[in-house]
Amino acid sequence: MIAGGMIELRNHRSSIQIGDGCNLAGSLRCRATDSHIRIGNLTTMMMAQITLHEAGAITLGEDCMLSGDIAMDVSDMHSILDMETGKRLNPPRDIEIGDHVWLAQGVRVMKGARIGQHSIVGSRAMVLGDIPAHSLAVGAPARVVREGVTWDRRRLPFEPDPYRIADATSTDPPGLR
């Protein structure tokens, strides 16, 4: 289901495939010949912009969650040329996002990025390369700050670790450390 937004196919031999049970808001744009968007089952999207300005593919796995103001494209949209040879230096590259990936508010996924399953990318991060499965990545460029994680759409109760040693530099009252 497209909850709000736009689908644009402006060329030949291109496709947009949306899996079952999706709830999508934003735009899906194939603006070049041989451009493809594939979205797996149960994926949700809040005002993301998925665009292909050149040939290629953007693939999102199943049960992904894209927050608002997400942008991704397989291209830089304009050519960068070597002055001496005239050769183009920035070809388009596919984007692959695994199953059960959460992209937080404002994430930018750049051409050639690959994000492994069950990963989380923090708010305003810029993904330029590979993020391994079960990782938490933040920053620009995004870097892994924790491994061995996953996420859940439910807001589960938080239970502080009673064995955690309080940080001596903390200004929090002892009960909040």
135 burial class (0-12, 13-18, 19+ CB within 10 angstroms)?
A: buried
- For residue 4, which of 65, 47, 68, 51 has the smallest C-alpha distance? 47
**Residue burial 44-73, b: 16+ Cβ < 10 Å; e: rest:** bbbbbbbbbbbbbbbbbbbbbbbbebbbbb
What is the pLDDT, as a whole number, of residue 164? Answer: 72
Domain count, the chain: 1
The tokens describing 62, both together, are: 């199943």
What is the residue range of 65's domain? Answer: 2-176
Predicted model pTM: 0.86
For the chain, what is the mean pLDDT?
Answer: 91
What is the model's pLDDT at position 3? 62
Read off the pLDDT of residues 30-40 as tens digits, 9 standing for 90 and up. Answer: 999 999 999 99
Q: Nearest Cα to 111, choosing from 133, 135, 85, 80?
A: 80
**pLDDT of 175:** 47
pLDDT digits (tens, 9 = 90+) for 47-98: 999 999 999 999 999 999 999 999 999 999 899 999 999 999 999 999 999 9
What 3-state class would DSSP assign to 175?
Answer: helix
CATH number at residue 58: 2.160.10.10
Residue type, 43: T
